[in-house]
A and B are shown apart, each in its own frame.
Chain A
Amino acid sequence: MAVEHIIKGCIKQNRRAQKELFYTYSKQLMATAMRYTKNEFAAKDVVQESFIKIYNSMHQLKQYHEGTLIAWMKKITARQALRYLEQNKSFQARQVSKRSHSVSSTSELQLEDVKLALDKLPDGYRTVFQLYVIEGYSHKEIGEMLNIGTSSSRSQLTRARTMFYEKWSELENYYGNVK
């Protein structure tokens, strides 16, 4: 089913279209949720809540393109994940990501390596960095979501960027040497 038909079906609360949307994009949203929560159980909870929100507010979507749809759904998932973390502050038993914390053995930079670099950032920096660079939120929106000022968001992003680029450069140098 084409994306446009899926979206239109979801707006009409068509169950087949909703199922199609879920099976097509839930894995990507799960990865997004996982980046924030670092816990599979929490990520599943977040994805489930996110899909209910997505179904209910599908009519707000202005453009019926796949890129727009995915970006929009990831934004909702990220917001939902942050809300989950805010509500479950006492929840400390975060599972460590199952992936190996070592660089991959291939000769090219892999997604896992990028994630590893991200993971090495402090929580606050990483969250702001992900929200701004990956999800596309503005500083004003990030400030409201994280209950911080806009200027704090900006300064944290600058520091996060500096740290992340250092890690990135290290990785590229490593793979450059491997080649």
Chain B
Amino acid sequence: MSNKHIDDRLTQYIASESMDFDQDAMWATLDSQLNKKRRWLFFILLFSGLLLTSGGIYYTTSAFNNTTLSESSENNSANQEFNTQQNSSPKETISSIADDEKTKTIEVPTSSPLKEKSIQKAEAVSVEKTTSWHIKQQDKSPIKEISSSQSNRYGEKQTVELQQASTADINSQHTNQNLETTNNLPTTTPTAQNINAVNETPDHVATAQAQLRLKNVLSNLPVLENLIEHVPTEDYWPPVRFKKDWSLCEIKEPWKFMVEAYGGYAHMLVNNEPKLVNGELTTDYLNLWEDSQSPVGGYQAGLQFIAQSPGGFEIGAGAEYQELNEKVESERTIIQRIRIFDPMAYFYRDSVGNIVWVADTVTQTVITTEKKTTGLHHRLINIPVRIGYMMHVNDWNLGGHVGAIFHLQYGFDGIAIRQNGTYITLDSDNQDLVYEDKLGFSFTADLHLGRQINDNMELFVRPEFRYHPEDWTVSRHLLSTKIQLAQVSGGLRYTFGK
């Protein structure tokens, strides 16, 4: 039977082999181990999600704050108007006596110069308005229509139109002037009688408060006019988006979207530590390793997409290729033993005296030492995710980023030295013997210095440090090797749109 046939039959036999064991128990262990790996992925996704969410919250909150601020300042000025109209003293507590049962108290701080200006303006307006009312009261018109219109800074016309009952008795409780007017009113007119009837009803209180509020609105309008003088021209403001209600007007500067291409040099900071094996530190191996292997450096090139908020915060993600190189100096001693068949190795003379040659073999030993310098190349495909802040000073952009580099793929080839001094050729097929087949992720921090070369294009340089917390070597390898990277990259950043 031929060798080949026996080999084939043996393979057939072995192919059918199987062994019973507790599969459920092993699967349970395996399942938990696989879950551990998934947990890592979960945390990475959670981290990215948190980053995006916090960015979104920041963006939303800043827009909301702008709106709230403008609304609250309007309310303040309205309150100030109310107080100044009722009191000559800048800071006093006043009580509206429109309601017998309820007393409304408002306190106003007086330190703001703007407010003082507003007070002066409001006082003048107050006097003017009161006089006007007085005259109208004298006309004895029971119902007065008061209309006030104001153009806002965007050219929209705001109109406040009020239908005001001439409730002289209410006015009399506010000012002496109004009191006099009330006294002069004839009470015999049908309208006045109606008003008196109204005064006797409980709605009187609500009507009085409504009157006060309307007065506030009216007196507020000149102050707004005054403030508008301080508003910059439209050129200063970014585009404005109006909603249905003016009070919800939202001022929004758009986000910028950019793409950058970069490349640069990476310097490897290698730290090898010996391990404790069978109670002994593998220091000899460490020395051997460091004598023969030394880091040379590497390069990286990548593409990144960035979204930048109006405030200068930015978030970016991209793809990157990186290659890191180590120099390996190997010294090989080659011992060659050559056995030569020498047909004339020796001779003897026969009884007649003739020479008889006897064949023999001669073994020759050739020892040669070969020195060779080769390399070990680490190749990585990375997904960088960064957040950062950028300041714009004239044409310069200064800032920094922090983030994570997810090592999507890691492979290498080259030569490494074994503990016994021999060399092993590493490739994707036997990488488990020395280096990990996956690297997980690294942390990164960088500084960014850029200069705008035109409206859309920026030229930048970026020193960066990458920290990888785990060993690059497999756990069973005799050395613990950590590699950190100090890098510098340069590139171009292009901003889409204006």
**A residues engaging B (CB < 8 A)?**
13, 15, 18-19, 22-23, 26-28, 30-32, 34-35, 40, 43-44, 47-48, 51-53, 55-57, 60, 70, 79, 83, 87, 90, 109, 111, 114-115, 133-134, 141, 144-145, 147, 161, 164-165, 168-169, 172
The chain B residue sitting closest to A149, CB to CB, is: B422
* Residue B29 at the chain A interface, CB threshold 8 Å: yes
Task: Identify 14 new A-B residue pairs, CB closer than 8 A, beyond the known A22-B26, A31-B17, A134-B11.
Answer: A15-B31, A23-B23, A23-B27, A27-B18, A27-B20, A31-B18, A31-B19, A44-B21, A60-B428, A79-B432, A83-B433, A114-B14, A147-B418, A147-B422
The 8 Å CB contact of B23, one of A15, A22, A40, is: A22
Please give the distance in Å from A60's CB to the nearest CB on chain B.
8
The 8 Å CB contact of B430, one of A19, A145, A165, is: A145
Please give the distance in Å from A177's CB to the nearest CB on chain B.
16
Q: How many angstroms from the CA of A26 to the CA of B22 in the assembled complex?
A: 10
Q: A56-B437, A111-B13, A114-B13 are contacts. A51–B432 as well, Cβ < 8 Å?
A: no
The chain A residue sitting closest to B22, CB to CB, is: A44
Per DSSP, chain A at the interface is helix
**B residues engaging A (CB < 8 A)?**
1, 3, 6-7, 10-11, 13-21, 23, 26-27, 29-31, 33-34, 38, 278, 418, 420, 422, 424-425, 428-430, 432-433, 437-438, 476
* Docked-complex contact A28 and B18, CB < 8 angstroms: yes
Could you pull out 7 A-B pairs where Cβ atoms are within 8 angstroms? A15-B31, A19-B27, A22-B30, A26-B23, A27-B18, A44-B21, A90-B278
Please give the distance in Å from A167's CB to the nearest CB on chain B.
10
Q: How many angstroms from the CA of A26 to the CA of B33 in the assembled complex?
A: 17
Q: A27-B23, A133-B10, A134-B10 are contacts. A161–B30 as well, Cβ < 8 Å?
A: no
The chain B residue sitting closest to A145, CB to CB, is: B430
List the count of A-B residue pairs having beta carbons below 8 Å apart.
89
* Docked-complex contact B27 and A133, CB < 8 angstroms: no
Q: How many angstroms from the CA of A101 to the CA of B23 in the assembled complex?
A: 27
Please give the distance in Å from B292's CB to the nearest CB on chain A.
17
Please give the distance in Å from A11's CB to the nearest CB on chain B.
14
Q: A83-B432, A165-B3 are contacts. A30–B14 as well, Cβ < 8 Å?
A: no
* Docked-complex contact B6 and A165, CB < 8 angstroms: yes
Hey, which chain A residues are within 8 Å of B438, CB to CB?
A: 56
Hey, which chain B residues are within 8 Å of A15, CB to CB?
A: 31, 34
Hey, which chain B residues are within 8 Å of A134, CB to CB?
A: 10-11, 14
Please give the distance in Å from A71's CB to the nearest CB on chain B.
9
CB-based closest 9 A-B pairs: A27-B18, A31-B17, A31-B19, A30-B19, A114-B13, A28-B18, A111-B13, A134-B14, A31-B18
* Docked-complex contact B27 and A44, CB < 8 angstroms: no
The residue among B11, B26, B38, B476 with the most chain A CB atoms within 10 A of its own CB is B26
* Docked-complex contact A52 and B18, CB < 8 angstroms: no
* Docked-complex contact A27 and B19, CB < 8 angstroms: yes
* Docked-complex contact A34 and B34, CB < 8 angstroms: no
Q: How many angstroms from the CA of A52 to the CA of B474 in the assembled complex?
A: 15
Hey, which chain B residues are within 8 Å of A47, CB to CB?
A: 26
Q: How many angstroms from the CA of A18 to the CA of B27 in the assembled complex?
A: 10
The residue among A48, A70, A109 with the most chain B CB atoms within 10 A of its own CB is A48
Q: How many angstroms from the CA of A19 to the CA of B430 in the assembled complex?
A: 26
* Docked-complex contact A141 and B34, CB < 8 angstroms: no
Q: How many angstroms from the CA of A79 to the CA of B432 in the assembled complex?
A: 10
The 8 Å CB contact of B21, one of A13, A27, A83, A161, is: A27
The chain A residue sitting closest to B419, CB to CB, is: A147
Please give the distance in Å from A65's CB to the nearest CB on chain B.
14
Please give the distance in Å from B418's CB to the nearest CB on chain A.
7
* Docked-complex contact B26 and A26, CB < 8 angstroms: yes
Hey, which chain A residues are within 8 Å of B17, CB to CB?
A: 28, 31-32, 35, 111, 115
Please give the distance in Å from A56's CB to the nearest CB on chain B.
7
* Docked-complex contact B18 and A22, CB < 8 angstroms: no
* Docked-complex contact B476 and A52, CB < 8 angstroms: no
Hey, which chain B residues are within 8 Å of A35, CB to CB?
A: 17
Hey, which chain A residues are within 8 Å of B7, CB to CB?
A: 133
Hey, which chain B residues are within 8 Å of A133, CB to CB?
A: 7, 10-11
Please give the distance in Å from B374's CB to the nearest CB on chain A.
16
Please give the distance in Å from A12's CB to the nearest CB on chain B.
13
